[in-house]
Structure 1
């Protein structure tokens, strides 16, 4: 698969980023938003209970004024696309089992037919749960877009009031606009937390380094993979038969809306470790139904590559 990379090795200065506009607002009509939804969001923001995933995230209060809706929109779209892939795959499996069921009825294999019907019923329940999760994500996305439109409207009105003569009425209006703007930002922050709970898990498996003549027997390497506050550090050695031995094989990460994967590779040189290269990969690229074999260029010239297998497991949808 192809991923977007940012190279931070000493000899590399290139920057490759994906740029996407926040186009979700243009498809929405109206500003339908009931007061009950406002109150429920703020009650969640003020409640003391936090999930383990929320504890891994930075403080929402400190990040309130640095929300990045474009990044969140990318995560929303990737999550929706991944869930639809899950749904399409299991619907295809359902079609196959249904055709088997019809064939079995003609052949009168009753024992096999009973097991097949049980499997079909379980798959039907799974598909319904998956459709429900997809509808939750789409509803949350629409609500997030509406709140961002309200934020933009409040900012534009505040700018217009600041250019007009100051009166008591205009000052009162500015205070009200500032209050509404703050409340909308708080709602968006809460919704980002709700989205993170729906992101599932990313299982990353180490497959080794590829360097052709660059890797020699006896070389030792250290690979550090970071995602926000989560960190995975593993060390490996090139054996005499060119195989690689690593002290760990797999790690589970909880994806977040504002964090991407940072991968750092260093090589043992004497008593110290020499930086080989650093790259950044967009975590939203991994929300796909099937495992992906990822080949990452650690250096911009591609002299050393890191091979990882990434599997997205949607924790809410275990069968």
Structure 2
């Protein structure tokens, strides 16, 4: 998990996508769960180090004592960063929910006014409500962008293809992984001992709220390429302290699978 970066690139007037409250809710819950896992793990580490710290102090091993002291201070600093990270994410999501409720209310009122007899006052109210809906929509999109800054990084490792009888020595494959505008293209070969060699093994992806991983596998035969399969993979389960082993069925029958490891 990487700390959030400074956020200054999003301009409210440039927003063109629609907010997705349900997707944001799912990502927020997964993100908060993952951050709390990190917090619990580091709190447990701090408790362990503090216990050793007391024992070492009694035994008067000064060099080891000071080394432990440095470790404890480092963990304490990281815990404070995590706590700030969690509070910032919660603050953003709370603001998002407020704008979402305001937008829903304005939308409902707009629909009610549009069904009522047209008068000058109702037309003026409709214009104002339309403006309110637009402003809430822009604010929601702006908050979505701010929330994305706090999603960290996914370190994706290539673990190879699994295909049993489908994979033969000499076969060459290309794997294309995309997350939004981020792309990773790598080529691999099945060796005579059934091992696999790939020209790249790891890629860092920056998560976002709306995009899923798209994975395409093609077999390379001379100048020809044969599509093996295209699949999508949701990243919602990747917000975890532990590396996630991913096995994706590339073909409909699962005769060829792709193995990846994702570390957040």
TM class, shorter-length = over 0.9
- Assess if the C-alpha contact under 8 Å between 2:214 and 2:233 holds in 1: yes
Give the root-mean-square deviation of aligned CA atoms.
1.6
Give the match for residue 3 of structure 2. none
State the alpha-carbon separation in 1 of the partners of residues 254 and 58 from structure 2.
58
Equivalenced residues, count: 257
Give the match for residue 253 of structure 2. 301
1:255 maps to which of 197, 202, 207: 207
State the alpha-carbon separation in 2 of the partners of residues 187 and 94 from structure 1.
39
Give the match for residue 277 of structure 1. 229
State the alpha-carbon separation in 1 of the partners of residues 234 and 177 from structure 2.
13
Q: CA deviation at 1:158?
A: 0.7
The alignment partner of 1:208 has SS state of: strand
State the alpha-carbon separation in 1 of the partners of residues 157 and 210 from structure 2.
23
Give the match for residue 124 of structure 1. 76
The alignment partner of 2:142 has SS state of: helix
1:185 aligns with 2:137: yes
Give the match for residue 77 of structure 1. 29
State the alpha-carbon separation in 2 of the partners of residues 181 and 174 from structure 1.
10
1:62 aligns with 2:16: yes
Alignment of 1:28-177 (within 5 A): 50=9, 61-63=15-17, 66-177=18-129
State the alpha-carbon separation in 2 of the partners of residues 218 and 269 from structure 1.
10
Q: CA deviation at 1:271?
A: 2.6
- Assess if the C-alpha contact under 8 Å between 1:60 and 1:189 holds in 2: no
- Assess if the C-alpha contact under 8 Å between 1:221 and 1:237 holds in 2: yes
State the alpha-carbon separation in 1 of the partners of residues 231 and 45 from structure 2.
38
- Assess if the C-alpha contact under 8 Å between 1:98 and 1:120 holds in 2: yes
State the alpha-carbon separation in 1 of the partners of residues 237 and 231 from structure 2.
15
Q: Deviations over 1:139-183 (max 9, x none)?
A: 101110110111110110011111111111111111111111111
Q: Which moved more, 1:167-176 or 1:179-188?
A: 167-176
In structure 2, list runs of 5 or more residues that go unmatched.
1-6
- Assess if the C-alpha contact under 8 Å between 2:28 and 2:93 holds in 1: yes
Q: TM-score scaled by structure 1?
A: 0.77
Give the match for residue 164 of structure 2. 212
State the alpha-carbon separation in 2 of the partners of residues 113 and 148 from structure 1.
52
Change (3 A) 1:223 1:243: same
Instruction: Name which structure has the greater RCO, CA cutoff 8 Å, separation 6+.
Output: 1
- Assess if the C-alpha contact under 8 Å between 2:19 and 2:144 holds in 1: no
